[in-house]
Amino acid sequence: MEEAQREERFSRVLLEQVGLDKLKTWASVNRGAIVLCSLLQSADEGVADELKCALKSIVPELKKIENSKGVEALLEKLA
């Protein structure tokens, strides 16, 4: 748990360096969606909240994607 108490977390750095717009493009790719699922479970609630708000806008597009377990898992997290 010591790692979770550090000031800079990987989730925050990833969000800041990659940006929400690019992270939203990851959602339509299976492994990208899995990474986003992990970020939504981040110990940094601010990251999870920012990401969830950003991804809500593309939920209709994600629902059109078939045969992607990562996208299915992401949609469950966003529901």
- What pLDDT, in 10s, does the model give residues 14-48? 999 999 999 999 999 999 999 999 999 988 888 89
Q: Which two tokens stand for residue 41?
A: 């479970």
Q: Output the pTM of the full model.
A: 0.82
Contact 28, 65 (CB under 8 A): yes
Residue 49, token pair as written in the block = 């909240």
CA atoms of 50 and 61, how far apart (whole Å) = 19
Domain count of the chain?
1
Residues in the chain: 79
* Token reading at 4: 């979770």
Q: Which two tokens stand for residue 65?
A: 């994607």
What amino acid occupies position 77?
A: K
Domain residue limits at 67: 3-78
